[in-house]
Structure 1
Amino acid sequence: MPVAEDLAPPARERRLRLMGAGLGSSAEAHEHRLLRAARPALPVLNWLGQFANPLMRVPKLGWITADPRTARALLNDPAHLTLLSEGGVGHLWAQILGDWVTELFDGPGHHELRTRSKGLFTEPTSRAFVERAWGDRLRLARERFEAGEELDLAELSRVLVGQMVTTLLGMPVDRSRGDAAYLEIFATGEQLAAIALGTTADTELPPNKVRQARAIVERLTAHVDAAFSDASGDTVIGRCRELGLTLQQTKGLATLLMVAGTETAASAMARMAALLADTGEQHRLIAEPEHREDAVRETLRVTSPAPIIGRAVLADLEIGGRTLRSGDRVLVLTWTANNLAGAFRIDRPYLPQHRQLWFGAGRHLCLGGPLAKAELQAVLELLIGDGRPFEIVSRRYGRRVLIPAYASLVVRKV
């Protein structure tokens, strides 16, 4: 197997790609427009990250890195870095959910929580969740799509994610409302995630945002009180009870699941379709179906739906020839780190230094990673399962959103 450096494009080409200039690739151009529409400063930060060799200090932001090895070393170092202090996502959520976040997010209780809940999302259980939550809706969508109807995959993705949330959390839903009920659930999670907009440089929330977020949390978790005592062990609520978590903690974790696994999943689904169509790689994938798992991995690498991971420095450390001081902030630019390896390509060899950096690393590696992959595999089957290609009819980028995503992506069979 060639080493990772041998697989990367020349430095000048990579820099042009990250600036969104010079190469003219339709897929890359659309990804850059999507990032810019979501958060105008994001492409600039991504571009700047390529010059962090391997770390660079940026005024008002702190340290940044887009080097995958440095990123992994930082994310695997709980002795020196934390997500609970200013700059970390735990600091953000502790203000909304309460001080118990400190214990379960990065404290002594975190390891036990991860250890006892790791069986919730395995490859087999994830496939079962997808079939249970999506089976009927996906079959209907596929039937209509293959019959020639246009399909807004961005909207369908939001519906599917809403269905997954209700399945995992045992949320009551008025099924007579059809897709509208699930779109409402997704929109509520989206409102909560939007609270984090503008916190890249400062994770201290003003009082009005805290009040707004707590009101949303209450709406999202109102059903947990009644369900907590007898929820099935194959739901998140039931598993939390079995782990010995309190009702309040269960509500908090249910909320975090909605935020962490809604917008990111929906973003990756529609962006996967756009990448396959814009690059023409769908034709290779139809001819070489053995690369379907590779296509899912490539989608996660190139889209990196959570493009930035923040940490706070707990204790001084030396890394990459730099000295990080206690109280400093670090931003891992996951999108830049992953995209420096090259453009979307379904037969790209495994990149050992990246591994699953799109899911984070270390003790905070995304617990729902297997579920995300199972979801993307199911959507991929919808798109090309009949062996016929599709085309993009129209698209709109989501504007001013936390997670870069398509507001609309209408596709149809060719």
Structure 2
Amino acid sequence: MTAPGTTSLIDLFGAEWASDPYPFYARLRADNPVQWDEWMQSWAVLGHPEIVELSKDQRLSGARISDFHESLPAQSRGNVDLLARTLSDMMLFNEPPRHTRLRRLIKPGLTPRFVREMRPLIEGLANDLLDEVVPAGRMDVIHDFSEPLSRGIIARLAGVPDDAAHLLEGWQGLLHEFFTQSDAQNPRIERLREAFDRGTAGRRDGTGEDLFSRMVSDQLRDADYTEGEVFANFLLLIDAGQATTTHLIGNAVLALMRDEGQTELLRERPELTTNAAHELMRYDSSVQFTTRIALSDLEIGGRTIRAGQSVTLVLGAGNRDPRRYADPDVLDVTRRAADHLSFGHGIHYCLGAALALSEIDVAIRTLLRRVSGWRLEQAEPEWLDSINFRFLKSLPITFEQRG
């Protein structure tokens, strides 16, 4: 931990903040919503308006993969060479004009009409998964429900062949693997690339019948995308659409289990679940930080950020900023919170936001319709050892079946 008298986001690794970082954020934000973190060697930005402003500032860049990769020792750099190449081709880690070009590859396929057409599939899969566990009166929300739900949807969306679908099981966020310098996912990525390459011809000539091929075929005919770029953004759909959504649902269920009043309100008024999905994301997002690099000097919150310095946008802190939300530490499913930061902001706003919200909506609505009296099997569930990702390792619960 940090030295006496200093405070850093690194302190979130301490046991007292492992299950609830939000009081720590509040303390930091009260000191100053923009402050230099000596241990992180980054500006920590904790306020909602400051994060919104910086998310739209073109003087900040999200293209940070190469710099981090090149700063690593030779052995660690070799471990993550594959991840570095792949992440560098994702739209998320690029700026215009390349970001605009890569975003155009995927955007036409994630329309509101497309998401509406996906909803019956989401509802059917959610009910199928609950059919398997509801009679027993027990399940692990992560492993029995939210993970196979998001995995099944993303396998369909990304056009993962049936014989490769098992490669999506137990998916770990690629960015987490990259920044922890792990090569554990390399074999999985290589096998997914082999499966992906089998469909190359169909995507290029417009004969591919899977959803991903249909999503990108027009763009592939009209623009010169490399296979590396297409594969990287195929993986981005999997990475962003599976791991984060899995844990958005898990965190939402945990929050509702701890608030009986809000749970009963949603049971009485199921039409509120669409609105509640935004509020649950604001309340406890599965992604807490995003990082940028300053391309030139800029002023924010009375502070001067110098060119070349790192900027950490603490989305979880901005989502609980009392300057934006009244009683921010209170879960209120009637709150209008669609301007939460969990999907990012500006040009990097998540393309799959509507699909993720639909999955959360369906998951909560279906659970509340089919179970009641839910109880945690352990008072304090275990979290992934990360300060950036709010991922539950598991969430075992018991419950009664509703008629």
TM-score interval, smaller chain: 0.7 to 0.9
Q: Is the 8 A contact 1:229 1:241 kept in 2?
A: no
Query: Which range moves more in the overlay, 245-254 or 397-406?
Result: 397-406
**Helix, strand or coil for the counterpart of 2:237?**
helix
**Helix, strand or coil for the counterpart of 2:202?**
coil
Q: Distance in 1 between matches of 2:16 and 2:351?
A: 27
Q: Distance in 2 between matches of 1:377 and 1:127?
A: 12
CA-to-aligned-CA distance 1:310-362 (integer Å, 9 cap, x gap) = 000001112221111101111111111112342343344325xx703110000
Equivalences for 1:13-412 in 2 at 5 Å? 36=18, 46=25, 49-51=28-30, 53-61=32-40, 62-78=42-58, 80-85=59-64, 95-97=84-86, 100=89, 105-115=94-104, 117-132=106-121, 134-143=122-131, 147=135, 149-155=137-143, 156-174=145-163, 182=166, 184-187=167-170, 189-190=171-172, 192-198=174-180, 209=182, 214-231=186-203, 232=208, 235-244=211-220, 245-280=225-260, 281-340=262-321, 341=325, 342-351=328-337, 355-386=339-370, 389-395=372-378, 396-400=381-385, 403-409=389-395, 410-412=397-399
CA-to-aligned-CA distance 1:73-112 (integer Å, 9 cap, x gap) = 111012x100113798999998332765589821313224
Q: CA deviation at 1:160?
A: 1.6
**Helix, strand or coil for the counterpart of 1:349?**
coil
Q: Distance in 2 between matches of 1:100 and 1:384?
A: 40
**Helix, strand or coil for the counterpart of 1:339?**
coil
Higher RCO structure, 1 or 2 (CA under 8 Å, sep 6+): 1
Q: Is the 8 A contact 2:89 2:233 kept in 1?
A: no
**Helix, strand or coil for the counterpart of 1:222?**
helix
Structure 1 stretches of 5 or more lacking a match? Answer: 1-18, 21-31, 176-180, 199-204
CA-to-aligned-CA distance 1:370-414 (integer Å, 9 cap, x gap) = 01001011111221125x633124144233256322222224227
Q: Distance in 1 between matches of 2:197 and 2:334?
A: 47
Structure 2 stretches of 5 or more lacking a match? Answer: 1-10, 71-79
Q: Where does residue 13 of structure 1 map in the other structure? A: none
**Helix, strand or coil for the counterpart of 1:350?**
coil
Q: Distance in 1 between matches of 2:57 and 2:210?
A: 32
Structure 1 residues 285 and 102, CA, compared in 2 at 3 Å: closer, same or farther?
Answer: closer
Provide the aligned C-alpha RMSD in A: 3.5
What is the TM-score of this pair, normalised by structure 1?
A: 0.75
Q: Distance in 1 between matches of 2:92 and 2:247?
A: 30
Q: Distance in 1 between matches of 2:54 and 2:353?
A: 20
CA-to-aligned-CA distance 1:115-163 (integer Å, 9 cap, x gap) = 463332233322433433x454322234455546322211121112221
- Tell me how many residue pairs correspond in the alignment: 360
Q: Return the letter of the residue paired with 1:385.
A: R
Structure 1 residues 194 and 94, CA, compared in 2 at 3 Å: closer, same or farther?
Answer: closer
Structure 1 residues 165 and 104, CA, compared in 2 at 3 Å: closer, same or farther?
Answer: same
Q: Is the 8 A contact 1:113 1:243 kept in 2?
A: no
**Helix, strand or coil for the counterpart of 1:375?**
helix
Structure 1 residues 89 and 265, CA, compared in 2 at 3 Å: closer, same or farther?
Answer: farther
**Helix, strand or coil for the counterpart of 1:72?**
helix
Q: Where does residue 5 of structure 2 map in the other structure? A: none
Q: Return the letter of the residue paired with 2:393.
A: A
Structure 1 residues 57 and 45, CA, compared in 2 at 3 Å: closer, same or farther?
Answer: farther
Q: Return the letter of the residue paired with 2:219.
A: L
Structure 1 residues 330 and 194, CA, compared in 2 at 3 Å: closer, same or farther?
Answer: closer
Q: Is the 8 A contact 1:313 1:326 kept in 2?
A: yes
